[in-house]
């Protein structure tokens, strides 16, 4: 369908995106009173990492992947020999979607529609940073990048070539790993580590 942004020129700088997302009310999440969380990292990074949306900690600290999922991600990247400091880290959706539960804010998965609206900003970041490789964490990150919701289990751990010459690499979302225990946890941590080792080879 027609884009809500059709008449607008693409953002010309990361600063314009940071300002744009703060004002953006095109999807319902932008109206929930939270602060948008901008991507962070080198302006010309070879690697971009795309998650789903900021979580509770990220919204409060106003930075992507600094909560529990971010800590798991940092450890796993480190073990795979991928330097997060050299990556541009962002999300498919820039606002935190949640349901209030007492004093807590429970994560709500953004809809495909939310992700598709917010792609304008993600595309802006892609066009400006021009990464060689993009790591998608989970189905939402992948949808933001590919424009379709892939089966992560089938498409993870392989380079998916994009029309703009970049390679998209899919893996599970670290929040998913945090919800598992026992054998499933072991197994999924292993697969995650394997995927990141493959990413590391692709980057070298
Ligand atoms: N989960 C995400 O997808 N992104 C963040 O920034 C934090 C947690």
Going from the Cα of 81 to the center of ligand 1, the distance in angstroms, rounded, reads 21
Q: What is the pLDDT of residues 20-29, one digit of tens each?
A: 999 999 999 9
Q: Which of 34, 56, 60, 65 to mutate to test the pocket of ligand 1 (most atoms within 8 A of CB)?
A: 65
ipTM above 0.90, yes or no: yes
Q: What is the pLDDT of residues 61-100, one digit of tens each?
A: 999 999 999 999 999 999 999 999 999 999 999 999 999 9
End-to-end CA distance of the chain: 39
Q: Which of 29, 40, 50, 51 to mutate to test the pocket of ligand 1 (most atoms within 8 A of CB)?
A: 51
Domains of the chain listed by start with CATH number: 14-203 (3.40.470.10)
Reported pTM: 0.96
Residue 3 has a pLDDT of: 65
Q: Say which residue, 6 or 99, is predicted with more confidence.
A: 99
Q: What is the pLDDT of residues 113-139, one digit of tens each?
A: 999 999 999 999 999 999 999 999 999
Which ligand 1 atom sits closest to the C-alpha of 37? Answer: 6
Going from the Cα of 175 to the center of ligand 1, the distance in angstroms, rounded, reads 8
Going from the Cα of 89 to the center of ligand 1, the distance in angstroms, rounded, reads 10
For every residue of 1-18, which 3-state class applies, written as one string?
A: CCCCCCCCCCCCCHHHHH
The residues, any chain, with a CB within 8 Å of residue 50's CB and separated by 6 or more, are: 90, 91, 92, 122, 134, 135, 136, 137, 141, 144, 145
Minimum mean pLDDT among 3-12, 32-41, 107-116, 149-158: which range?
3-12
3-state helix, strand, coil in the chain (%, to 5): 45, 15, 40
Residue 32 has a pLDDT of: 96
Nearest-CA residue for ligand 1 atom 7 is 65
Residue 7 confidence class, pLDDT cut points 50, 70, 90: confident
Ligand 1 cavity residues, CB under 6 Å:
51-55, 58, 64-65, 67, 69-70, 91, 175
């Amino acid at each position: 369908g027609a884009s809500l942004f059709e008449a607008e020129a693409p953002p010309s700088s990361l600063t314009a995106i940071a300002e744009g997302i703060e004002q953006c009310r095109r999807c319902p999440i932008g109206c929930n009173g939270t602060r948008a969380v901008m991507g962070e990292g080198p302006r010309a990074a070879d690697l971009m990492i795309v998650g789903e949306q900021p979580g509770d900690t990220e919204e409060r600290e106003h930075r992507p992947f600094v909560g529990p999922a971010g800590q798991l991600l940092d450890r796993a990247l480190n073990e795979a020999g991928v330097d997060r400091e050299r990556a541009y880290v962002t999300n498919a959706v820039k606002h935190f979607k949640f349901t209030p539960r007492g004093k807590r804010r429970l994560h709500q998965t953004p809809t495909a529609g939310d992700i598709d609206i917010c792609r304008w900003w993600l595309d802006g970041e892609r066009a400006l940073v021009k990464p060689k490789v993009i790591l998608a964490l989970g189905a939402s990150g992948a949808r933001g990048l590919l424009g379709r919701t892939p089966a992560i289990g089938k498409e993870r751990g392989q380079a998916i070539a994009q029309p703009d010459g970049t390679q998209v690499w899919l893996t599970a979302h670290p929040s998913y790993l945090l919800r598992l225990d026992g054998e499933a946890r072991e197994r999924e941590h292993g697969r995650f580590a394997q995927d990141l080792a493959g990413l590391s080879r692709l980057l070298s």
